[in-house]
């Protein structure tokens, strides 16, 4: 059997002890063990400080911790050298007595059975959240329940010996409750939907299997619980450091630049839009729930104003308002009809369709010939022009007109694609096809 020995390791001003097996000189296990220990202690700062306000308030990171209530089997015990084997983080500093929940001793050595039930409530003078605690020496038969005064609590395991069991907000163990048995250990983060000012541990210990030896005669076994002081910090709403771009201008039906808000501590987002530079009367944008939002291509011509609300369990923070200007960048064209000139007389329009009941006086105005330069004149005061309405097939041709009958300039309304179509050319007459007329412009 290989010899075991105890080796002290100095870390700044604190010492802790690790029981090591003799290792081969070329083994990398020892450096990895030491590295993991040094890294673990940096997760939440001083996890080695003992948080036990039983004898008076303690202050960590601007938050004062006090005892709000206690009852039942709660025992305070000086810290031991428990790093590694018992405790997820570094060894405990000897600055107080540890809280032992569910553990009790026989009073006056009378060996009267003790009640293993307990309850202990920490009070914080400022709302906190995501408080981390170490729990160790958990044995089968124990039960520890975590609750807060507000919000819904979730327990998130960050270190587990493998025998600690978390079910909802209850912690139990599969480690045997036998003499000299090493119980379970775990480091757990308490996440609440709402920051809390009170944290309660309650539950029960289990009958002690240890022999009755002085100076302490254990009646029930419980577990040591110590809050990581580095995790006891005031809960704050998200902070917003900026939003970009502060303004942008783009053309209608062209992509806009994404708007991005920079935050710290946000867990959710909601974007809002308004037609005026104000939060009053703004409308939330469905589905716009990330740190970035891209305005739609078809935003109406004009200026819209956007802002984001960043939220976490503590509260919400609203970003500055940014503007997005949409312009009508389409070049339109209006041209008068051809004007008669010397040697180039105006052409007479020979065909007209009228919905008017024309009188003899109106006929004498030489209608439709008086309308110069057209192929056809349509006349109405209460009627609209409705071209032939036809469905189009998958080849892009009107259903019911033979291809041989297509004539350049033919015009129909495509009921399939919902647009007015002309049989024309885009390449100077080389090829002909049916094209939607969607952009007002000049042919030249």
Give the domain-ending residue among 201, 231, 261.
231
Residue 103 lies in a domain: yes
**Does residue 172 share a domain with residue 147?**
yes
**Does residue 201 share a domain with residue 71?**
yes
Residue 66 lies in a domain: yes
**Cα(20)–Cα(248) distance, integer angstroms:** 65
pLDDT digits (tens, 9 = 90+) for 381-434: 888 888 899 999 999 999 999 999 999 989 999 999 999 999 999 888 889 999
Average pLDDT of the residues of the chain: 81
Task: Domain of residue 306: give its range.
Answer: 239-327
Residue 387 lies in a domain: no
CATH number at residue 208: 2.60.120
**Does residue 314 share a domain with residue 264?**
yes
CATH number at residue 290: 2.60.40.10
**Does residue 215 share a domain with residue 103?**
yes
Residue 256 lies in a domain: yes
Kindly report the backbone phi and psi dihedral angles of residue 3, in degrees, each rounded to the nearest multiple of 5, phi listed first.
Answer: -75, 140
**Does residue 212 share a domain with residue 263?**
no
- Is a pLDDT exceeding 60 seen at residue 213? no
**Does residue 129 share a domain with residue 57?**
yes
Find, among 19, 136, 137, the residue nearest to 89 by Cα: 136
Find, among 125, 1, 16, the residue nearest to 60 by Cα: 125
**Does residue 292 share a domain with residue 215?**
no
Q: Tell me: cis bond preceding 180? Omega within 30 of 0 counts.
A: no
Which pLDDT does position 32 carry in this prediction?
40
Higher pLDDT pick, 111 / 99:
99
Which pLDDT does position 371 carry in this prediction?
82
Residue 388 lies in a domain: no
Q: Is the pTM of this model over 0.75?
A: no
Judging by beta carbons within 10 Å of its beta carbon (0-12, 13-18, 19+), is residue 443 exposed, middle or buried?
exposed
**Cα(27)–Cα(225) distance, integer angstroms:** 35
Give the domain-ending residue among 294, 327, 360.
327
Higher pLDDT pick, 36 / 90:
90
Q: What is the DSSP letter of 108?
A: G
**Does residue 208 share a domain with residue 246?**
no
**Does residue 220 share a domain with residue 93?**
yes
For residue 358, give both structure tokens: 């024309």
Residue 37 lies in a domain: no
Higher pLDDT pick, 384 / 143:
143
Which pLDDT does position 58 carry in this prediction?
95
User: What letters, b where the CB count within 10 A reaches 16 and e where it falls short, cover 35-53?
Assistant: eebeebbebbbbbbbbbbb
Identity of the highest mean pLDDT range in 4-18, 206-220, 255-269, 332-346? 255-269
Count of structural domains, the chain: 2
- Is a pLDDT exceeding 90 seen at residue 325? yes
User: Alpha helix (H) ranges present in 262-383?
Assistant: 360-363
**Does residue 106 share a domain with residue 81?**
yes
Q: Is the dihedral of CA 118, 123, 129, 130 positive or negative?
A: negative
Residue 100 lies in a domain: yes
Q: Any residues with CB less than 8 A from the CB of 171 and at least 6 apart, and which?
A: 135, 138, 143, 144, 145, 146, 155, 164, 165, 186, 188
Which residue in the block uniquely carries the two structure tokens 């974007």? 271
User: Alpha helix (H) ranges present in 99-231?
Assistant: none
Which residues is 134 bridged to in the sheet? 187, 226
**Cα(185)–Cα(138) distance, integer angstroms:** 7
Mean pLDDT for the stretch of residues 295-315 = 92
**Cα(52)–Cα(339) distance, integer angstroms:** 99
**Cα(351)–Cα(367) distance, integer angstroms:** 9
- Is a pLDDT exceeding 70 seen at residue 209? no
Q: Any residues with CB less than 8 A from the CB of 122 and at least 6 apart, and which?
A: 51, 53, 65, 66, 67, 68, 198, 199, 200, 227
* Confidence band of 126 (pLDDT split at 50, 70, 90): very high
Residue 3 lies in a domain: no
Mean pLDDT for the stretch of residues 229-255 = 92
Q: Are strands 117-128 and 63-72 parallel, antiparallel or unpaired?
A: antiparallel
Note whether 312 and 237 are within 8 A (CB): yes
Give the domain-ending residue among 304, 327, 350.
327
**Cα(243)–Cα(309) distance, integer angstroms:** 12
pLDDT digits (tens, 9 = 90+) for 413-425: 999 999 999 999 9
**Does residue 268 share a domain with residue 216?**
no
**Does residue 152 share a domain with residue 225?**
yes
């Amino acid at each position: 059997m290989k010899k075991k020995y105890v080796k002290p390791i100095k870390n700044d001003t604190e010492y802790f002890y690790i029981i090591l097996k003799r290792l081969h000189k070329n083994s990398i296990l020892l450096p990895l063990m030491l590295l993991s220990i040094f890294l673990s202690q940096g997760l939440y700062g001083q996890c080695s400080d003992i948080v036990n306000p039983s004898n008076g308030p303690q202050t960590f990171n601007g938050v004062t911790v006090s005892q709000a209530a206690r009852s039942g089997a709660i025992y305070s015990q000086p810290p031991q050298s428990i790093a590694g084997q018992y405790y997820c983080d570094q060894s405990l500093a000897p600055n107080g007595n540890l809280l032992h929940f569910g553990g009790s001793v026989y009073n006056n050595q009378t060996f009267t059975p003790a009640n293993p039930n307990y309850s202990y409530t920490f009070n914080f003078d400022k709302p906190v959240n995501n408080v981390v605690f170490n729990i160790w020496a958990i044995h089968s038969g124990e039960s520890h329940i975590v609750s807060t005064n507000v919000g819904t609590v979730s327990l998130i395991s960050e270190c587990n010996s493998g025998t600690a069991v978390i079910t909802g907000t209850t912690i139990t163990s599969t480690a045997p409750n036998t003499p000299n048995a090493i119980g379970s250990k775990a480091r757990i983060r308490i996440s609440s939907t709402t920051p809390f000012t009170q944290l309660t541990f309650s539950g029960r210990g289990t009958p002690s299997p240890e022999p009755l030896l002085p100076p302490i005669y254990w009646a029930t076994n419980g577990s040591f619980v110590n809050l990581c002081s580095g995790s006891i910090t005031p809960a704050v709403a998200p902070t917003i450091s900026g939003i970009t771009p502060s303004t942008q201008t783009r053309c209608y039906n062209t992509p806009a630049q994404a708007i991005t808000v920079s935050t710290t501590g946000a867990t959710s987002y909601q974007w809002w839009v308004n037609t005026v530079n104000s939060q009053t009367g703004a409308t939330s944008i469905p589905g716009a729930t990330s740190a970035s939002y891209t305005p739609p291509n078809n935003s109406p011509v004009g200026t819209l104003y956007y802002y984001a609300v960043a939220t976490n369990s503590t509260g919400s923070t609203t970003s500055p308002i940014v503007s997005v200007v949409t312009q009508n960048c389409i070049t339109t064209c209006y041209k008068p009809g051809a004007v008669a000139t010397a040697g180039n007389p105006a052409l007479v329009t020979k065909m007209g369709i009228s919905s008017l009941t024309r009188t003899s006086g109106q006929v004498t105005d030489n209608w439709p010939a008086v309308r110069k330069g057209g192929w056809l004149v349509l006349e109405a005061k209460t009627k609209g022009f409705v071209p032939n309405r036809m469905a189009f097939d998958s080849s892009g041709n009107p259903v019911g007109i033979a291809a041989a009958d297509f004539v350049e300039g033919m015009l129909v309304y495509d009921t399939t694609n919902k647009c007015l179509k002309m049989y024309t050319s885009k390449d100077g007459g080389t090829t002909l096809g049916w094209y939607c007329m969607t952009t007002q412009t000049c042919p030249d």
